[in-house]
A and B are shown apart, each in its own frame.
Chain A
Amino acid sequence: MADATMEARVTEVSVSAQRRAAPIVPERSVAGRTLVLLIAIMTFLSGVTLGGVVLVQKSAIAWSTDVGREVTIQLRPIEGEVMDSNIRTAIALAEATPGVTGAHAISLEGSQKLLEPWLGTGLDLSTLDIPRLVVVELGDPTDVDLSMLERDLAAIKGASLDTHSAWRQQLNVMAGTIVLSGVLVLALIVLATVLAVVFATRGTMASNREIVDVLHFIGASNSFIAGEFQGRFLSLGFRGGLVGGIGAVLFFLAVAGVSGSIVPNEANAQLNFLFGRFALGLDGIAGIAAVVPVIAALTAITSRLTVRRFLSQTS
């Protein structure tokens, strides 16, 4: 009989040994759901902001690079000048410039087509003297002496060189402003998250005062107590961050899908050409994924510092 009782106890102890010890700070004592939701929203907003910034920057860089690889020679019709001859001269001068990989003139039909968005279709433009364009392709935009080309072109009456620098500068300023705004919004979101976690931690500490006191009485260090709370908040931060991060990625996938299906293919192609595709790419998704552990770590560190401060004030 005694042996049976002992055996039962051993079994009970073995069972309890296999069970993971309950957390010292109970999960339900932390304002868990509310905090997870709040962190999820903050992570979503961070992810959307970050993704937006990445999209704008990628498009601006791509557009600027494309535009930067070409300059245009414009030849205005001038009485007494032979346009075809001037075009050939301009092409020759361009091709003789070091760093230029090629030059070609846009045909008359091509030039007329460029005017269609402004003048409409179906008009007879043959009576108008339309300026002609020569597209000059550059190898390395930084290694081309465009001032030399500009000087050479001065020999052709009515010729001028357009390097698109004003457009590129405007684009860079606009993209830079959007990126800066995004960074500012991210900083505000981080600040709001920190404040929310500080308040949540203080509330949790107040509602768990009994646990903190008991831990103090039995000889737990402030560091140990802070670690227990930090662990709880790290878990909440990670869960909230994961939900928000996945939400942000799904948002971009959905928007990319919707924009592709709503806008007609032709217009979509032009939009893609001008502004790039509305797709985050792997680097954008990786950026949003990186937000998740950052938010979780931020939550844990903030709660730890708040707890340490609380304990040092109350000890």
Chain B
Amino acid sequence: MIEFSNVGLRYGHGPEILRDLSFNIEPGSFHFLTGPSGSGKTSLLKLLLLSLKPSRGTLHMFGRDVMSLDQDALLEMRRHIGIVFQEFRLLDHLTTFENVALPLRVLGQPESAYRDNVTELLEWVGLGERMEALPPLLSGGEKQRAAIARAVIGRPDILLADEPTGNVDPELSLRLVRLFAELNKLGTTIILATHELPLLDSFAFPRMVLRDGEIRIDG
């Protein structure tokens, strides 16, 4: 599903942030992405989200060479990838329901077409009673569950998460990762970036460890 081959990344004429990354991600797998701050986790996630293109090497996703894709093809491919951020990035003027439904709304679907799906998903993540609440009124855990729901409402094949537990307490962190594990069981490929060792130790998923721009896969 994802094939990195000698991928390097640099910003402008600066030094390489990522060097010679070569690895494969199989469909339906769950990987932690970890490493110290500044090791390039977020840059790697940006490559996976197609926000950046590699400076060198080849990157294949869904069997296609990313480097050869035009803007429209990249946009179409990006719709198969969900993303969850540490800082949630919900739109404060939209209700929880509207935030979660946003990926379907931008595809031009009418509310009548997605209302039941969004409601069902919000029930599943435990936000059934908070559908009409605005994000500023939600707790950190509720916000992150809403962000996860928004990331998966379009049924992406790949779900990326950038420190999704960074703003919640340890107990809630475990519950959130269990939620990702549930999604993984349903077939979604998950790559979850975190530097919280207790969290990594609580689950037996393989780890991609980034250090000084190079990657090592454990497990």
| Contact present for B91 and A220 (CB under 8 Å) | no
The reply to whether the CB of A12 lies closer than 8 angstroms to some CB of chain B is yes
Q: Tell me which of A37-45, A114-122, A148-156, A207-215 binds B.
A: A207-215
| Contact present for A217 and B75 (CB under 8 Å) | no
Q: Total A-B residue pairs with C-beta atoms closer than 8 Å?
A: 63
Task: For B95, give its contact among A22, A214, A221 (CB under 8 Å).
Answer: A22
Main secondary structure of the interface of A (DSSP, over half): helix
| Contact present for B103 and A219 (CB under 8 Å) | yes
| Contact present for A218 and B71 (CB under 8 Å) | no
Instruction: Give Cα distance in the complex from A255 to B154, angstroms.
Output: 61
CB contacts (< 8 Å) of B97 on chain A: these are 16
Q: In the complex, how many residues of chain A place their beta carbon closer than 8 angstroms to a beta carbon of chain B?
A: 24
Chain B residue with the shortest CB-CB distance to A29? B93
Task: For A16, give its contact among B93, B103, B105, B132 (CB under 8 Å).
Answer: B132
Instruction: Give Cα distance in the complex from A220 to B91, angstroms.
Output: 15
| Contact present for A21 and B71 (CB under 8 Å) | no
Closest A-B pairs by Cβ, 8 of them:
A219-B79, A220-B106, A218-B103, A26-B93, A219-B78, A217-B83, A214-B89, A224-B106
Interface of chain A residues 212 through 232 with chain B (CB within 8 A): 213-222, 224
Interface residues on B, range: 20 to 34
CB contacts (< 8 Å) of B64 on chain A: these are none
Distance (whole angstroms) from the CB of B75 to the closest CB of chain A? 6
Chain A residue with the shortest CB-CB distance to B78? A219
The reply to whether the CB of A24 lies closer than 8 angstroms to some CB of chain B is yes
Instruction: Give Cα distance in the complex from A236 to B219, angstroms.
Output: 57
Q: Tell me which of B5-13, B111-119, B163-171, B210-218 binds A.
A: B111-119
- 23 A-B residue pairings within 8 Å (CB atoms): A9-B119, A9-B128, A12-B131, A13-B131, A16-B131, A17-B112, A22-B93, A24-B91, A24-B94, A26-B93, A210-B91, A218-B102, A218-B154, A219-B75, A219-B78, A219-B79, A219-B154, A221-B75, A221-B106, A222-B71, A224-B106, A224-B108, A315-B71
The reply to whether the CB of B107 lies closer than 8 angstroms to some CB of chain A is yes
| Contact present for B131 and A21 (CB under 8 Å) | no
Task: For A22, give its contact among B94, B106, B107, B128 (CB under 8 Å).
Answer: B94
CB contacts (< 8 Å) of A218 on chain B: these are 83, 102-103, 106, 150, 154
Question: Contacts A12-B132, A217-B83 given: A21-B98 contact, CB under 8 Å?
Answer: yes
Instruction: Give Cα distance in the complex from A214 to B151, angstroms.
Output: 11
